[in-house]
Amino acid sequence: MPRKLRKKIGLPPGSVVFTGQQKVETVHLSYLEYNADICDETSLSNQTISSFHQPISEYTQWYDVRGLHDTELIKNIGQTFSIHPLVLEDIADPAQRPKYEEYETGIAILLKALKFDAHLSKVITEQVSIYIGNGFILSFQEDVTDLFVAIRTRLVNGKGQIRTKGADYLAYAIIDALMDHYFVVLDNIEEQIEVIERNILETKGNNNKGKIHQLKQEILIARKAIGPLREANSRFSKSDHPLIDSDTKKYIRDLYDHNVHLMDTVDTYRDMLTSLQELYLSEISFKMNQVMQVLTLITTIFVPLSFLAGLYGMNFEYIPELKFKYGYFVLLSVMFCMVVGLLIYFKKKDWF
């Protein structure tokens, strides 16, 4: 939602203005330094500028900032690590499109973390910014909930090859972890699609059209997170920036493949929803046709009969048929024959 961009109208470019909703009260900051042997984590609930310092060559450093409203802090970080002002502007603006930007001293990657709120059937997005520098990495989250617990655990436990690799691999691992959640979100959406499909085919559920509509909107949101990331990952995997190891690129190429897969899946879901909508509409048309046939059947049978009954209910002084002894029974027989005849006719016309 670009709604909050209005705040910035008229400001010079590169202005670091927080344009999102403040999701945390105070900015949380955690710092982690590791190499193949050592891994030290420091969680600072109250950030202090002084905790940021120049990279040390023997460690890979990871600064994780949770909460974006403290623009002073972001500007300070920018100065400490000499980050381009346009990057800082993007970090502070959670409405950014996922992107990949290279600068001489570092690489900025912006992407979205996705969650699916099954209760509200809503896709919730959170912007994550990653800045890869020489020997360090900066990550920015909007919310206080840590999205990177699994990676932190892996680093501390020394599992896998993550400790033996540099900052570029750590960035890859973070993106990979976030993209794993995309699959979960798509799974949740697929489940909802299947529920709606079953409901329509069994003509159950009372607001299928609304649910299809909403799911379509949610897929649009997911698509806006996944589609531009594909481009970003493509450029990431083909980059020849000195900060990216050629060995890591194979992994990033794998990210890109997953991304293509995700995009395919999203588009498939969109097609499935469109197909469901058409099914729903033809279901309604079919039902209306059936109802219409019942209506016509009854009208066609009873209206002439009622007319005949009305005819002999008239008070004319001279209606000869009324005087016949068996007039009533003759009329009943005539009516019976009409009904049978019409039913046979409708049966032939395949109306019931």
**Site residues (CB under 8 A) for a copy of itself, limited to 276-305:** 276-289, 291-296, 298-300, 302-305
Q: Which is nearer to a copy of itself, 36 or 324 (CB)?
A: 324
Nearest of 75, 88, 55, 52 to residue 243 by alpha carbon: 55
Q: Pick out residues in 75-114 that bind a copy of itself (CB under 8 A).
A: 84, 86, 96-97, 99
Q: How far is the CB of 95 from a copy of itself (least distance, A)?
A: 8
> CA triplet 25, 112, 97: central angle to 5 degrees?
105
Only one of the segments 9-17, 25-33, 57-65, 124-132 lies at the binding site for a copy of itself (rule: CB under 8 A); that segment is 9-17
Is 264 a binder of a copy of itself (CB under 8 A)? yes
Q: Which is nearer to a copy of itself, 23 or 181 (CB)?
A: 181
In sequence order, what DSSP letters do the residues of 160-197 get, joined into one string? TTGGGS-HHHHHHHHHHHHHHHHHHHHHHHHHHHHHHH
Binding mask 15-54 for a copy of itself (x = CB under 8 A): x---------------------------------------
Cβ atoms of 123 and 115 closer than 8 Å: yes
Q: Pick out residues in 218-247 that bind a copy of itself (CB under 8 A).
A: 220, 224, 227-228
Q: Pick out residues in 155-214 that bind a copy of itself (CB under 8 A).
A: 159-162, 172-173, 176-177, 180-181, 183-184, 186-187, 190, 201, 203, 209-210, 213
Q: Which helix (H) or strand (E) holds 33?
A: strand 28-34
Q: Which is nearer to a copy of itself, 134 or 293 (CB)?
A: 293
Q: Pick out residues in 308-347 that bind a copy of itself (CB under 8 A).
A: 309-319, 321-328, 331
Q: Which is nearer to a copy of itself, 29 or 109 (CB)?
A: 109
Q: Which is nearer to a copy of itself, 119 or 325 (CB)?
A: 325
Joined together, the tokens standing for residue 168 give 């570029």
Beta-carbon contacts of 76 under 8 Å, excluding residues fewer than 6 positions away, are 49, 52
Which of 42, 45, 105, 268 touches a copy of itself by CB under 8 A?
268
What's the one-letter identity of residue 21? Q
CA dist., res. 56 & res. 134, Å (int): 10
Which residues pair with residue 43 across a beta bridge?
Answer: 30
Cβ atoms of 64 and 139 closer than 8 Å: yes
Q: How far is the CB of 53 from a copy of itself (least distance, A)?
A: 27
Q: How many residues bind a copy of itself (CB under 8 A)?
A: 111
Beta-carbon contacts of 55 under 8 Å, excluding residues fewer than 6 positions away, are 61, 133, 134, 135, 136
